[in-house]
Amino acid sequence: MRLDGRRADEMREVFIGRRAQKFPAGSALIEVGSTKVLCAATIDERVPFFLKGTGSGWLTAEYSMLPGSSPERISRDNRSIKVNGRSMEIQRLIGRALRAVTDLSAIGERTITIDCDVLQADGGTRTAAITGAFVALVEACETIYQAGGVFPVTDFVAAVSAGITSDGEEILDLCYAEDSSAAADCNVVMTGAGELVEVQITAEKKSFTRAQLNRLLDLATDGVNELIALQKDALGRDLVWRVGRVG
């Protein structure tokens, strides 16, 4: 029995709301238990230097926590991208995850910037960010599609955490308290087709075996499938139909 009464393979309650901000091309608010992340996708009609003239676009992500998002206030300096190794790792992860299901050449010479701002942090902010950012991304790509282009998102993608407790039990979707006492934890990014995009498993306190790794991946597979179903609900039939199809 877990801290909040969940079964080992049970996710927290998840809510994904679209159009969370008025100005960006796409935006979503995702809540996974007490974790809340605001995701925005902005389209800029420029590309980085190395893509000029190639006809291809770029997608990049930024991740930050609001000062009041966590039990101990996060100072604005420390959370800045430049000095915060953890934020850097996370935003690189978010960028890779979304690029894995995005046809950059279909974007044209544009840059899509994904902003993931954590309003409240209770574990799993990076996986929530990926899952929510996907919804913002699809919303934003509708603009490109309506302007006569190909829909650039080619599959669904979502992410979830799993971990091994200090008692050696494998559990899904760790809250902060579980995460900080876990022996090992793992983030899995998976597509709608069931293929893996990124697997990161770290022994925080105790190394682990291949068998344990396999059980974590089993848990994560179920979790991602659940999340993709919720993304589909949030996006609605028209946008779901668009993903993965050529206009």
* Residues binding a copy of itself (CB under 8 A): 21-24, 27, 34, 38, 40, 42, 44, 62, 64, 66-71, 73, 76-77, 80-83, 85-86, 88-89, 91-92, 96, 100, 113, 115, 117, 119-120, 122, 191, 193, 195-203, 207-210, 213, 217
- To a copy of itself, the closest distance from the beta carbon of 99 in angstroms equals 9
Give CA 32 to chain center in angstroms.
12
Backbone angles phi, psi at 186, to 5 degrees: -145, 140
Structure tokens at 98: 């979304």
Using CA atoms, how far apart are residues 115 and 120, in angstroms rounded to an integer?
A: 15
- CB of 40 closer than 8 Å to CB of 115: yes
Cα dist. 8→40, 82, 150, 239 in Å? 32, 37, 41, 33
Taking the C-alpha atoms of residue 203 and residue 164, their distance in angstroms, rounded to an integer, is 9
Minimum CB–partner distance for residue 185 and a copy of itself (Å): 11
Min CB(68)–a copy of itself separation in Å:
3
The single-letter code of the amino acid at 232 is K
In whole angstroms, what separates CA 14 from the centre of its chain? 13
- In the bound state with a copy of itself, the residue whose beta carbon lies nearer, of 1 and 194, is 194
Minimum distance between the CB of residue 162 and a copy of itself, rounded to whole angstroms? Answer: 13
Residue with Cβ nearer a copy of itself (7 or 19) = 19
List the structure tokens of 49. 């230097």
Amino acid at 27: S
Q: Is the CB of 11 or the CB of 183 nearer to a copy of itself?
A: 183
The minimum distance between CB 186 and a copy of itself, in angstroms, equals 8
Give the nearer residue to a copy of itself in terms of CB position, either 70 or 240. Answer: 70
Which of 69/131 has CB closer to a copy of itself? Answer: 69
Q: Which is nearer to a copy of itself, 50 or 237 (CB)?
A: 50
Beta bridge partners of 153: 102
Helix (H/G/I), strand (E/B), else coil: 220: helix
Cβ 2 vs Cβ 218: under 8 Å: no
CB 237, min distance to a copy of itself, A? 25
CB of 151 to a copy of itself, least distance (A): 19
The residues, ordered by sequence, that sit 6+ positions from 224 with a Cβ below 8 Å of its Cβ are 158, 159, 160, 188, 189, 190
For residues 1 and 18, which CB has a smaller minimum distance to a copy of itself in the complex? 18
